[in-house]
């Protein structure tokens, strides 16, 4: 069975577990879970490991992750017996970027922040997808305005992107974690509600939105790195110019 044999609308009607079971049966080793070990990603790992202990899991090691995220890699290995596949950016690209714009370029301008995300996350992610036909992520519609229209199943560049928890609420995620004793990222205990790179994430304040701690210094800017939301035309054009300066050397 291929994704073409099943209309996307039918996949939308499946539960999270059913969708993962279908993906594992359909794609086998050409399917993987992409995660940064936040609550939703850990729910997917727990669900999938019960269906197939050999499920593939990969994460993006940007080189700027908090120590607690590296701890989660070992936790997943110990709890589930899964050897997490580590995906890293090209060293030469990072060196060129930081030489041209500085190590902490992301604080100066939203365009430079998106450039950093693109070099450290988007480009390595795209390279990893060459190994896959389908992948799953922990997006939920409730997380932000940008994610409100997330589908459980969608075609992205001839690949199938699955968001099995798209319809889930934060409470459903927490209920699953408690009922199944799923490991939790240590930064949640320090007030973090969304976890990314160390310099670009802080704990959320009382009453703030779930993703308020991501790139908190930016005003009126999309709280996305580019993996799930394409920047608008103006930002895309600016990013292309900056990216050309990195790749042409």
**Catalytic machinery residues:** 225
Sorted by sequence, the CB contacts under 8 Å of residue 7 that are 6+ apart come out as: none
Phi, psi of 154, deg, nearest 5: -150, 150
For tokens 């240590």, the residue is: 186
Lookup: tokens for 242: 């900056």
C-alpha angle 122-69-45 in degrees, rounded to nearest 5: 80
Render the burial of 134-149: b for 16+ CB within 10 Å, e for the rest: bbbbbbbbbbbeebee
Total number of residues shown for the chain: 249
DSSP state of 65: -
């Amino acid at each position: 069975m291929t994704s073409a044999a099943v209309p996307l609308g039918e996949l939308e009607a499946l539960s999270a577990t059913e969708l993962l079971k279908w993906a594992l049966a359909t794609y086998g080793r050409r399917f993987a879970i992409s995660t940064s070990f936040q609550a939703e990603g850990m729910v997917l790992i727990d669900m999938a490991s019960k269906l197939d202990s050999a499920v593939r899991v990969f994460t993006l090691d940007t080189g700027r992750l908090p120590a607690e995220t590296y701890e989660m890699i070992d936790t997943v290995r110990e709890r589930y017996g899964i050897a997490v596949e580590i995906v890293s950016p090209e060293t030469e690209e990072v060196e060129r970027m930081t030489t041209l714009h500085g190590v902490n370029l992301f604080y100066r301008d939203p365009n430079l922040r998106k450039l950093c995300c693109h070099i450290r996350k988007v480009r390595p992610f795209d390279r990893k997808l060459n190994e896959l036909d389908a992948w799953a992520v922990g997006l939920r519609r409730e997380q932000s305005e940008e994610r409100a229209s997330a589908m459980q199943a969608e075609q992205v560049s001839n690949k199938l992107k699955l968001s099995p928890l798209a319809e889930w609420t934060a409470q459903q995620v927490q209920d699953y974690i408690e009922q199944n004793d799923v490991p939790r990222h240590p930064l949640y205990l320090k007030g973090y509600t969304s976890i990314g790179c160390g310099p670009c994430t802080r704990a959320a304040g009382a009453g703030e939105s779930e993703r308020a701690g991501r790139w908190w210094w930016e005003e009126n800017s999309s709280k996305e790195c580019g993996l799930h939301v394409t920047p608008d035309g103006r930002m895309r054009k600016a990013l292309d110019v900056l990216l050309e300066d990195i790749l042409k050397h």
